[in-house]
Amino acid sequence: MSWVTKTLNSTLGKKLLMALTGLFLILFLVVHLAGNLQLLLPDEGESFNIYAETMANNPLIKVVSIGNFAFILIHVIWAILLTKTNKKARPVSYAVSNASTNSTWASRNMGILGTVILLFLIIHLRGFWYEFKFGEIPTIVYDGITYKNGFAIISEAYSNILYVIVYVVAMGFLGFHLSHGFASAFQTLGLNHVKYSPLIKKVGSIFSIVIPALFALIPIVMYIQTL
Amino acid sequence: MNLTLKIWRQKNISDKGGFKDYKVTDISKDMSFLEMLDVLNEQLSDKGEDPVHFDHDCREGICGMCSLHINGKPHGPLQTTTCQLHMRSFNDGETITIEPWRATAFPVVKDLVVDRSSFDRIIQAGGYVSVNTGGVPDANEIPIPKRIADEAFDAATCIGCGACVAACKNASAMLFTSAKISQLAMLPQGQVERKERAEKMIAQMDSEGFGACTNTGACSAECPKGISLSNIARMNREYFAASVSSENV
């Protein structure tokens, strides 16, 4: 299978991996958001807690979540590999650069945006994912069945204004990352067409605003509720 | 016009190089940018100094020989070649910074002259159609739809100047290589070597030390011939399709 590694090791192949993992992570964002919006239902977290428990015990979701971690890792590692190749391609930089006239800021700074998102992800996973999996979680009983009360941990975290600010700012970075990444992934896959490319660009712009905004809304609303 | 020129001077490929300031006076607004540099070089020659070396040939915007990174943009402020750029695009008293194109695959030979033979080697790897010798075929023997012919021609207008590499933050040669792959992939004459061409040209491009594509679009925005980004998408399709279906294991 040497031709597979040869293809994936080319600059185009590396970008292919970035695009495919990126598109999967975009899909994950939608599913994650749909689940988390249940935090805002006026039922003291009942639907969220039941949903979280169901997800944690579903074998299919377990497999997908392992894939999700793997794809994040591939997206990060290949980004580092590509950045190294790209830096090596221009060891001496220009004294004067006027790049703002030919490209967007986000497109030129995907690495910086991604690094901030990765840092946020570590904070996020430590604060919630790790606590849910390995931490001491209070329990709550609905209809005679005991559930982990994840809602309690989340609402406690979001009563801290600093935590809320970190989340909202991180979503801003995610928005900029998506504003380029969404359409760019399709271009890398070779999906460029006069009929669909303008549509992909538009959907990408809307996606990069709406999804991070809805994510940011959760800590903001939950913080206001604790006041 | 009176101008201050901040020009990159470098003796040879191994010299470290650095900027040097020059003053030029009484420059006409109607001069081309290269004619302005000719005036400077006459002054330098008169003083017995080494003139500023820069690439140029046709001065008609069709050969792709001229280069120069002017005030932070390849070929200067307009989307054209440096030879077609005129001094009316600048203001009296302005300081103009002139740098060579920066890329590992384009080493600086002297001053503003860079070696772009890496582009030639990409073409040599597969950017051609092998034709057995024999009688010249009739002009319209192979029917090609007008739309396809136009699109292939648009890709073929690439003059190989390297502005795409110079503009790209990754010094990537994707726009050049994709134009050269596209112009042949769309035409019937290019079908025989289609898969082999995509694989070989991209392997050569990578081995020359060009960077990868981030899809910023800077290349196309700066290209004097306006080569479209859709060529890069087509190259990706060509390459991935060739990888999975060619006989080349």
Residues B79, B143, single domain; the answer is no
Q: Mean pLDDT across the stretch A21-29?
A: 98
A2·B249 Cβ contact <8 A: yes
B172 touches chain A (CB under 8 A): yes
B71 touches chain A (CB under 8 A): yes
- A94 in any annotated domain: no
CB contact at 8 A, B83 and B60: yes
Q: Mean pLDDT across the stretch B181-203?
A: 96
Nearest CA of chain A to the CA of B131: how many Å?
29
How far apart, in Å, are the Cα atoms of B73 and each of A5, B115, B163? 37, 19, 9
The residue whose two tokens read 């209070």 is: A138
The confidence band for A1, taking pLDDT boundaries of 50, 70 and 90, is low
Cβ-count burial B13-37 (b if 16+ within 10 Å, e if not): eeeebeeeebebeebeeebbbbebb
The domain tally of chain B equals 2
Residues 82-111 of B with CB under 8 A from A: 97, 99, 102-105
B72·A90 Cβ contact <8 A: no
Count chain A–chain B contacts defined by CB atoms under 8 A: 139
Dig out the tokens for A207 from the structure. Answer: 């996606």
The residue whose two tokens read 């809307």 is: A206
Where do the DSSP E strands lie in chain B?
Answer: 3-9, 18-24, 69-70, 73-74, 95-99, 108-110, 113-114
Q: What percent of chain B has pLDDT over 70?
A: 100
State the pLDDT at residue A163: 93
B208 touches chain A (CB under 8 A): no
Contacts of B209 in chain A (CB under 8 A): 88-89
State the pLDDT at residue B136: 79
Three-state secondary-structure class, residue B21? strand
Nearest CA of chain B to the CA of A110: how many Å?
9
Contacts of B172 in chain A (CB under 8 A): 11, 86, 89
Q: Which residue of A has its CA nearest to B243?
A: A7
Q: What pLDDT digit, counting tens, does each position of A185-224 carry?
A: 999 999 999 999 999 999 999 999 999 999 999 999 999 9
Three-state secondary-structure class, residue A97? coil
Three-state secondary-structure class, residue B69? strand
Three-state secondary-structure class, residue A146? strand
CATH number of domain containing B209: 1.10.1060.10
State the pLDDT at residue A136: 86
Compute CA A216 distance to the chain's CA centroid, rounded to the nearest angstrom. Answer: 13
Q: Which of A102, A107, A188 sits opposite B236 (nearest CB)?
A: A188
Residues B48, B142, single domain; the answer is no
CB contact at 8 A, A134 and B109: no
B72·A94 Cβ contact <8 A: yes
State pTM to two decimals.
0.94
B169·A86 Cβ contact <8 A: yes
Q: What percent of chain A has pLDDT over 90?
A: 93
B99·A98 Cβ contact <8 A: no
Contacts of B248 in chain A (CB under 8 A): 3
B72·A85 Cβ contact <8 A: no
Who contacts B217 (Cβ-Cβ below 8 Å, separation ≥6)?
A: A102, A103, A107, B229
Q: What pLDDT digit, counting tens, does each position of A153-169 carry?
A: 999 999 999 999 999 99
Complex confidence, ipTM:
0.92
Q: Which of A7, A91, A103 sits opposite B217 (nearest CB)?
A: A103
- A90 in any annotated domain: no
For residue B37, pLDDT over 80 is answered with yes
Three-state secondary-structure class, residue A140? strand
Q: What pLDDT digit, counting tens, does each position of B139-184 carry?
A: 788 899 999 999 999 999 999 999 999 999 999 999 999 999 999 9
The confidence band for A59, taking pLDDT boundaries of 50, 70 and 90, is very high
H-only helix segments in chain A? 2-9, 11-36, 46-57, 59-89, 105-108, 110-124, 130-134, 150-157, 161-188, 197-226
d(CA B112, CA B34): 12
Q: Which of B50-54, B196-200, B245-249 comes out lowest in average pLDDT? A: B245-249
State the pLDDT at residue A105: 97
Q: Mean pLDDT across the stretch B217-224?
A: 97
The domain tally of chain A equals 1
Question: Can you list the pairs that A5-11 forms with residues at least 24 positions away whose Cβ atoms lie under 8 Å?
Answer: A6/B243, A7/B239, A7/B240, A7/B243, A10/B202, A10/B203, A10/B206, A10/B239, A11/A82, A11/A85, A11/B172, A11/B174, A11/B202, A11/B205, A11/B206, A11/B210, A11/B211, A11/B212, A11/B213
A88·B229 Cβ contact <8 A: no
**∠ CA A23-A27-A28, rounded to 5°:** 115
| Run of H or E including A142 | strand A139-142
* Residues on chain A bordering chain B, Cβ-to-Cβ distance under 8 angstroms: 2-3, 6-7, 10-16, 82, 85-86, 88-99, 101-104, 107-108, 110, 180, 183-184, 187-192, 197
- A192 in any annotated domain: yes
d(CA B48, CA A205): 58
Q: Mean pLDDT across the stretch A17-33?
A: 97
CATH number of domain containing B89: 3.10.20.30
A7·B243 Cβ contact <8 A: yes
Work out the mean pLDDT of chain B and round it to a whole number.
Answer: 96
Among B97, B73, B127, B99, which Cα is nearest to B6's? B97
Structural domain harbouring B45: 3-110
For residue B226, pLDDT over 70 is answered with yes
CATH number of domain containing A144: 1.20.1300.10
Nearest CA of chain B to the CA of A90: how many Å?
5
Q: Which of A14, A93, A191 sits opposite B233 (nearest CB)?
A: A191
State the pLDDT at residue A102: 95
Tell me phi and psi for residue B175, to 5 degrees. Answer: -65, -45
Work out the mean pLDDT of chain A and round it to a whole number.
Answer: 95
Structural domain harbouring A46: 2-84+107-226
d(CA B74, CA B2): 23
Among A183, A12, A192, which Cα is nearest to B216's? A183
For an interface test with A, which of B243, B245, B248 has the most A Cβ atoms less than 10 Å from its Cβ? Answer: B243
Residues B90, B19, single domain; the answer is yes
Who contacts B142 (Cβ-Cβ below 8 Å, separation ≥6)?
A: B188, B189
Q: Mean pLDDT across the stretch B225-233?
A: 97
Three-state secondary-structure class, residue A175? helix
State the pLDDT at residue A180: 98
State the pLDDT at residue B139: 78
